[in-house]
């Protein structure tokens, strides 16, 4: 178990450049399976989820070369169609590989991802859509097995705009016979990035970023070179690092238009936020103000992936704030750790009531998921004394340079010994 040790109380200042987005690069890497040719992907973050995805592709038989932030993937040599259970357990979103395997080989097998720290997280929408497209799916002893069967286009209505299901259907539909239409699709910017990547390979997809996506099946795909979009959640997390430490920081390589739900809440707590195309600047107020309500929603609503970090910030805001988590049933594990640091938080099912305190105090706390772990680091940056965040493996899944970036901005943060 690895840890981060933070001596809190340093005001952050300076500028950092934001990495490529985890939630864009993972489906894009899965999509490289479809072409059977070489794909070159730039701006890949140095995160452990990417390592897992590379391991999956190698298990399937792909040749993968990594050169700093560039990946070269040759999927011509795939000769296996099963994703090993240990890799699905490591990263739930490996289910995304199934759509690509089905799309190219008309068959595939993954183990059932099961529950996770955020709740049950079913995959019924993925399975139902594959069946609607003609796939023959058997669920057997914890495995989802898709037998060889040609896919055909279908009209699919999603009961909920699931990000993963939308991406999986796009991947399965690219090489299917006929046209697939997804209604009530997820509108997250990462979906549009996947569409742009697939179209650059020769796919015919329209509507990514809106609630209706139309995928016209094509016969084959080409070699591609592509640069992944910046990570809006890392950018949001870093803006909070500036805000929670009373600091003033700038971020480059961001897409400001994708961050409106986050920046509007930061303005509500009193921060001064200036946006300039691919750059964003934040100056913290003298004292933070509470917000009436943060309600997590699918994009363009407030992202559930920023809920924990805002809870850390609101712990130090004057007055009472309310958070309502509507996307995941069980995404408040960080609350009890924030309470250890001195926060005043009450939980009522999906609602969190946060009464701001004047100061947090350093303590040893445990990260239990990716964003919750990041929230503990943020709280530690503001807390008096030393905070040790343990189990930082969770954080490394999605933040490739958190420690070096925070150090660059002036934080006293170190990697601890393995425990």
> Tokens 């730039």 belong to which residue?
42
- Both tokens assigned to 406: 């925070």
Backbone φ and ψ of 64, nearest 5° = -125, 125
Sites for ligand UD1 among residues 25-84 (CB under 6 A): 26
The CA distance from 201 to 195, in Å, is 10
| Least distance CB 386 / ligand UD1 (angstroms) | 30
Is the CB of 124 or the CB of 148 nearer to ligand UD1?
124
Q: Is 168 in the site for ligand UD1 (CB under 6 A)?
A: no
The question of whether 116 is a catalytic residue gets the answer: yes
Of the residues 13, 15, 85, 124, which one makes contact with ligand UD1 according to CB under 6 A: 124
Give me the least distance between CB of 273 and ligand UD1, in Å please.
22
> 69: phi > 0 → left, psi -120 to 50 → alpha, else beta; which?
alpha
Position 121 contacts ligand UD1 (CB under 6 A):
yes
Choose between 162 and 315: whose C-beta lies nearer to ligand UD1: 162
Residue 164 interacts with ligand UD1 (CB under 6 A): yes or no: yes
- Does position 334 interact with ligand UD1 (CB under 6 A)? The reply is no
Q: Nearer to ligand UD1 by C-beta: 237 or 388?
A: 237
Structure tokens at 386: 């030393």
b or e along 125-149 (b: 16 or more beta carbons within 10 Å of the residue's beta carbon)?
bbbbbbebbbbebeeeeeebbbeee
123 binds ligand UD1 per the rule CB under 6 A = yes
Q: Which stretch binds ligand UD1 (CB under 6 A): 37-45, 117-125, 278-286, 387-395?
A: 117-125
Residue 126 in contact with ligand UD1, rule: CB under 6 A: yes
| Interacting residues of 380 by C-beta distance below 8 A, sequence separation 6+ | 4, 6, 8, 341, 362, 365, 387, 389, 413
CB of 286 to ligand UD1, least distance (A): 33
Angstrom distance (rounded) from CA 392 to CA 253: 25
Q: Which two tokens stand for residue 289?
A: 């103000």
**Contact with ligand UD1 (CB under 6 A) among 105, 197, 328, 332:** 328
- Decide: 29 and 398 in contact? Cβ < 8 Å: no
Which residues contact ligand UD1 (rule: CB under 6 A)?
A: 23, 26, 93, 121-126, 160, 162-165, 186, 304-305, 327-328
Active site residues: 116
């Amino acid at each position: 178990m690895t840890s981060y040790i933070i001596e809190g109380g340093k005001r952050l200042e300076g500028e950092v450049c934001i990495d490529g987005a985890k939630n864009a690069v993972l489906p894009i890497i899965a999509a490289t399976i479809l072409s059977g040719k070489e794909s070159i992907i730039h701006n890949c973050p140095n995160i452990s989820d990417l390592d897992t995805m590379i391991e999956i592709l190698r298990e399937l038989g792909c040749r993968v070369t990594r050169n700093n932030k560039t990946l070269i993937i040759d999927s011509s040599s795939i000769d296996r169609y099963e994703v090993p259970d240990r890799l699905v357990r490591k990263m739930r979103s490996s289910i995304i590989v199934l759509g690509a395997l089905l799309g190219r080989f008309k068959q595939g097998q993954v183990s059932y991802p099961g529950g996770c720290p955020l709740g049950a997280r079913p995959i019924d929408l993925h399975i139902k859509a594959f069946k609607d497209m003609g796939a023959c799916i058997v669920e057997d002893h914890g495995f989802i097995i898709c037998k060889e069967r040609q896919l055909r286009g279908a009209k699919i209505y999603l009961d909920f705009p699931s990000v993963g299901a939308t991406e999986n259907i796009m991947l399965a539909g690219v090489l299917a016979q006929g046209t697939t239409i997804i209604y009530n699709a997820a509108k997250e910017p990462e979906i549009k990035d996947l569409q742009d990547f697939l179209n650059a390979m020769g796919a015919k997809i329209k509507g990514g970023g809106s609630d209706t996506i139309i995928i016209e099946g094509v016969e084959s795909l080409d070699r591609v070179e592509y640069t992944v979009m910046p990570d809006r959640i890392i950018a949001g997390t870093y803006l909070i690092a500036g805000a929670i430490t009373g600091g003033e920081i700038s971020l480059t390589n961001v897409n400001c238009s994708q961050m409106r739900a986050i920046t509007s809440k930061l303005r509500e707590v009193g921060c001064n936020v200036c946006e300039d195309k691919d750059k964003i600047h934040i100056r913290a107020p003298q004292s933070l103000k509470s917000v009436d309500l943060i309600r997590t929603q699918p994009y363009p609503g407030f992202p559930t992936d920023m809920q924990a970090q805002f809870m850390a910030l609101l712990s130090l805001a004057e007055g009472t704030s309310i958070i309502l988590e509507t996307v995941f049933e069980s995404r408040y594990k960080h609350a009890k750790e924030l309470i250890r640091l001195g926060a005043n938080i009450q939980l009522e099912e999906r609602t969190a009531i946060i009464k701001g305190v004047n100061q947090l105090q350093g303590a040893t706390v445990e990260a239990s998921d990716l964003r919750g772990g990041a929230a503990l680091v943020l709280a530690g940056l503001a807390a008096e004394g030393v905070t040790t965040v343990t189990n930082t493996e969770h954080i490394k899944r999605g933040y490739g340079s958190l420690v070096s970036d925070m150090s660059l901005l002036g934080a006293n943060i170190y990697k601890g010994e393995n425990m």
